[in-house]
Amino acid sequence: MKTMTLLALATALPSIALAESHMEAGSVPLSYGERPFFLIDAMEDGPLKEQLMSCQGQMPERSAFSIGHRGAAMMLPEHTKQSYVAAARQGAGIVECDVTFTADKELVCRHAQNDLATTTNILVTDLAEKCTTGFTAAAGDESASAECRTSDLTLAEFRELKPKMDASNAKATTAEEFQGGTAAWRTELYVPGAEVMTHAESIALIDSLGADFTPELKSASVEMPYDGFSQEDYAQKMIDEYKDAGIDPSRVWAQSFNLDDIKYWIENEPEFGAQAVYLDDRYEAEDDDEGLIDPMDPSTFKPTMQELADMGVNYIAPPMWMLVTTNDAGEIVPSAYADEAKAAGLDIITWTLERSGPLASGGGWYFQSVSDVIDDDGDTYAMLDALAQDVGVKGVFSDWPATVTYYANCMGL
């Protein structure tokens, strides 16, 4: 069957080349690249593989089901111009800028306010002296560490930084060594020339690429209010930058793990609040915290799904593993969490596909509830199919959006 699969792929190459030359009006040329076909070839024989194989000659089309998680962070430095462009070229209909702020309260794209030590070259620049906690070398059982925040820098200083893949070397004895640690299944080929971005710049870029927006208001590492800048000011400033850019609210899915942010937007910016996405991380609560969620036990859902809906929440976004489990036949099926969310009329978005590396060992954290049936990279599409067809999610964040775009195009999502 492997030989037949490769033969079918080779036969389809002219169509694939034609598809990769496809241009959407006012956008960028779209390309699936090699990865979707690599994953399909790795799948077990069956109806899903046959269906995905049948779509090899299709023309790539942008899909809102495909969401660029930090851009295309599997292979490019996250939250950079180049990562956002790559996500759009892979057909992501929505691209994410995680939003935090600098010392002068300007909004920038970073996954966390305090991630500069692992996502930029700050520790090997003169700006290292401004870090909240400077570099500490590894010693004995203690790993190397540093903490550098966007709030340690002005916007002008932030612009001086050069992005890198998000990684660090825990055994480093120098700041230069600390720059390493990139996972073997990622790459540093596309690091040179990568550019950091402000939130406003990301809006202009993503708009020009023909995609829509899902900014995440990140929790501050500094105490709020910060120099008179309250949490409400922060939440409002993020929305104001879309309004200033003339972006229709229907194109924006504002996210937060903080339910109070969601409620603020619902009350104060109802057009944006209607699509606000509550990122659900209550699985991280302490055991004695009544917010702890067991995805298989609806009695632990506090607030309940219906209570969230009654607050005006329309979108909820848990990690993938919370939405699925396995049945006695070893099939991936919806969890009680997924069933309760749908019963309450909540739309579901989930994260993050293509963030686990090779799946031969069960897929790690993102696949933890179905790890017993995950044993190779082809299972990426088994998971995605269950989320799309059985759970009924409205979109999937991915570190390599082409994988999701291909599926969405093939299935007509």
Tokens read off for 226: 């910060």
- Per-residue model confidence (pLDDT) at position 8: 40
- Kindly compute the dihedral angle of the four CA atoms of residues 110, 111, 114, 118, in this order, to the nearest 10 degrees: -90
pLDDT of res. 27 = 66
Which residues of the chain register pLDDT less than 70? 1-27, 285-291
Residues of the chain with CATH 3.20.20.190: 2-111+196-411
Q: Which helix (H) or strand (E) holds 380?
A: helix 379-385
Q: What is the pLDDT of residues 302-353, one digit of tens each?
A: 999 999 999 999 999 999 999 999 999 999 999 999 999 999 999 999 999 9
Quick one: pLDDT at residue 286?
A: 59
| Cα separation, 249 vs 3, whole angstroms | 49
pLDDT attached to residue 54:
98
Distance of CA 160 to the CA centre of its chain: 25
Closest to 216 measured CA to CA, from 323, 314, 95, 318: 95
Res 24: pLDDT: 43
What element of type H or E holds 238?
A: helix 231-244
Buried b / exposed e across 393-410, counting CB within 10 Å, b at 16+?
bbbbbbbbbbbbbbbbbb
CA atoms within a 13 Å half-sphere pointing along the CA-CB vector of 148? 28
Question: In the prediction, which pLDDT does 20 show?
Answer: 38
Within its chain, how far is the Cα of 27 from the centroid? 22
Q: Supply the pLDDT for residue 290.
A: 60
pLDDT at 6: 37
What pLDDT was estimated at residue 288?
Answer: 53
Residue 193 burial (CB < 10 Å; 0-12/13-18/19+)?
exposed
Could you name the CATH architecture of 2-111+196-411?
Answer: Alpha-Beta Barrel (3.20)
CA angle 396, 278, 258 (to 5 degrees): 130
Q: What pLDDT score does 292 carry?
A: 80
What are the structure tokens assigned to 52, written together? 């995905």
Quickly count: other Cβ atoms within 10 Å of residue 364's Cβ.
Answer: 15
